Structure 1
């Protein structure tokens, strides 16, 4: 049947009908007074979602563009940076730093394991000359389903006193609490196609006053991604370049939906869906890739042993029109990933788990009794 695709991947994520309808409106001029009113409204909504009074700047980019902007606007060639690497996307930020000639030091953990905050503490405390200019952390590592301990790492950065804390919050913003002002986070990047319930196309960068001070002396090249330009125009409820106007219509609607639900309810829903998904996977005797204490509310990675991950994904897509994500790089063919962030409901979780059970039956999997996964998920969702 056409038009029944169900996205259970970590991005793009499902988009509500009313958001899709907003996308279909006729564009308006991006230098008009009407657009300025929308710009003002969505900027306030973004500050609410980011839990900050700092600037939240809007780029026409993916999350990668937002993260690159967050790095290059506040650093100079040769600056020493610490980058936590425990998955594909955290390693990408180290590669970006390498490209721009930064003195990149990687603090690593095995894929599927969380970063060790004590390694950051040791490196920061040893930096008595205050040469470390930034610490870059991926909060929710999309490739593995691991949630890193940003709060503790940030506390060690704050004790250092000089370094900026830069955060990839692409799959954590809108799925779990990222209290920017309360924690004093300096640069936080995210993208529209995750917890924002929007299609791909917009990147967001929240910037602290401390980071803006670093901006004044930063010497890395920048033009389109020069955040100073975005800040200047945002103060006038405008944009330095031609923005995707219809995405702003959509963002206006999505933010209103999120404000109606409320931050705490949004975070509780994502936690409930993570718990239900993990309970179902355990009941099916399928190994989880990330430990319970370091699991992301946005995505659950599963590492099956006696059945093939790609065969599971293929059956889900062909038989049930449900898309789940595969593994990346060295994890390709070894894991599959269930996205449960953004516009996802309890019904979606139960549907995905029941289809997963049907796929396992088709593959003659004998590791669990029929219905065990759905029963486990239903129990969590009903509690």
Structure 2
């Protein structure tokens, strides 16, 4: 049957019908009063979601573009930075920093394991000359489904006194609480196609007062991603360059939906869906790639044993029109990932688990009881 495709990947994520329809509106001029009013409403919603009074700037870019913008606007060539790397995206920030001539010290953890906050503490305490100018952390490591302890790491950075903290919150914003002001986060980057429930194309960057002070010293060349003009334009609810107007219509509606649901309810829903998926995988005898206490509410990584991960993904797509994500780099073919962030409901989880059970049966998987995963998920989702 056509038109029944279902995304269960960590991005892009499903988009609500009313958000899709919002994009069908006739365009308006991006220098018009109507657009200025639209942007003003969107900015207020973004500050609500980020739990901040800082600037929240919007770029025509992916989450990677937003993160790059954060890096190049607060640092200078030759600056020493500390980068946490325990997955594909931590590795990416190392490469981005090196590309812009920064001196990179890496704090690593095995893929599937969390970054150790004490390793950051030790490195920052050893920096008596205050040479470290920034610490970069991926909050939710999408490649493995690990949620790093951002709050504790941020506290260590604050104690250092000199370093800024730059955060990749691409799959954590909108899936779990990221209280920017409370945790003292200086730069936070995210992308529209994740917890925001809209298509790809918008990147978001928060900038603290400390980040803007660093901006004044930054000497890395930049033009389109120079956040100064964005801040100046944002003060008038405008953008320095032509924005994707249709996506502004979309984010306006999506933020209204999120505000109607409420922050705590959003976070509780993601936690419930995460638990339902994880309990279902355990009941089916499918090993989880990350431990429960460090699991991301956005995505769950699974390492099947008796059947191949890519076979599971293939059957799920061909037979049930459900897309699961695969592994990346050395995990390619070894794991599959189930996204459960953004516009995902209890029904989606039950549908995905039921289809996965049928897939395992079709592939002749060993060691699972048909119906066990569905019962485990139901138990979580129907609990008071």
Shared fold (TM-score, shorter chain, > 0.5)? yes
Aligned to 1:262: 262
Q: Matches of 2:90 and 2:355 in 1, distance apart? A: 31
Q: Matches of 2:363 and 2:320 in 1, distance apart? A: 15
Q: Matches of 1:2 and 1:90 in 2, distance apart? A: 38
Q: Is the aligned partner of 1:343 residue 2:343? A: yes
| Structural mapping, 1:262-281, within 5 Å | 262-281=262-281
Whether the 8 Å CA contact 2:306–2:366 is kept in 1: the answer is no
Q: Matches of 1:106 and 1:290 in 2, distance apart? A: 21
Structure 1 residue 366, shift from structure 2 partner: 2.4
Structure 1 residue 32, shift from structure 2 partner: 0.2
Q: Is the aligned partner of 1:162 residue 2:173? A: no
Q: Matches of 1:141 and 1:269 in 2, distance apart? A: 20
Aligned to 2:210: 210
Structure 1 residue 305, shift from structure 2 partner: 1.2
* CA deviation vs aligned residue, 1:9-44 (integer Å, no higher than 9, x gap): 000000000000001111110000000000000000
Whether the 8 Å CA contact 2:68–2:96 is kept in 1: the answer is yes
Q: Matches of 2:229 and 2:289 in 1, distance apart? A: 42
Q: Matches of 1:338 and 1:53 in 2, distance apart? A: 33
Aligned to 1:173: 173
Q: Matches of 1:206 and 1:361 in 2, distance apart? A: 47
Aligned length: 383
| Structural mapping, 1:1-383, within 5 Å | 1-383=1-383
Q: Matches of 2:324 and 2:189 in 1, distance apart? A: 25
Deviating runs (4+, > 6 A) in structure 1?
none
Q: Matches of 2:4 and 2:68 in 1, distance apart? A: 35
Q: Matches of 2:306 and 2:2 in 1, distance apart? A: 33
Q: Matches of 2:325 and 2:253 in 1, distance apart? A: 27
Q: Matches of 1:170 and 1:255 in 2, distance apart? A: 16
Point out where structure 2 has 5 or more consecutive residues left out of the alignment.
none
Structure 1 residue 306, shift from structure 2 partner: 1.2
Q: Matches of 1:184 and 1:79 in 2, distance apart? A: 21
Whether the 8 Å CA contact 2:350–2:378 is kept in 1: the answer is yes
* CA deviation vs aligned residue, 1:285-319 (integer Å, no higher than 9, x gap): 11000111110000000001111000000000000
Q: Matches of 1:326 and 1:184 in 2, distance apart? A: 34
Q: Matches of 2:241 and 2:112 in 1, distance apart? A: 39
Q: Matches of 1:305 and 1:97 in 2, distance apart? A: 37
Q: Matches of 1:126 and 1:104 in 2, distance apart? A: 16
Q: TM-score, with normalisation over the residues of structure 1? A: 1.00
Root-mean-square deviation (CA, aligned residues, Å) is 0.4
Point out where structure 1 has 5 or more consecutive residues left out of the alignment.
none
Q: Matches of 1:305 and 1:369 in 2, distance apart? A: 15
Q: Matches of 2:94 and 2:244 in 1, distance apart? A: 29
Q: Matches of 2:191 and 2:3 in 1, distance apart? A: 25
Any idea what SS the aligned residue of 2:154 has?
helix
Q: Matches of 1:22 and 1:193 in 2, distance apart? A: 16
Q: Matches of 1:381 and 1:267 in 2, distance apart? A: 15
Q: TM-score, with normalisation over the residues of structure 2? A: 0.99
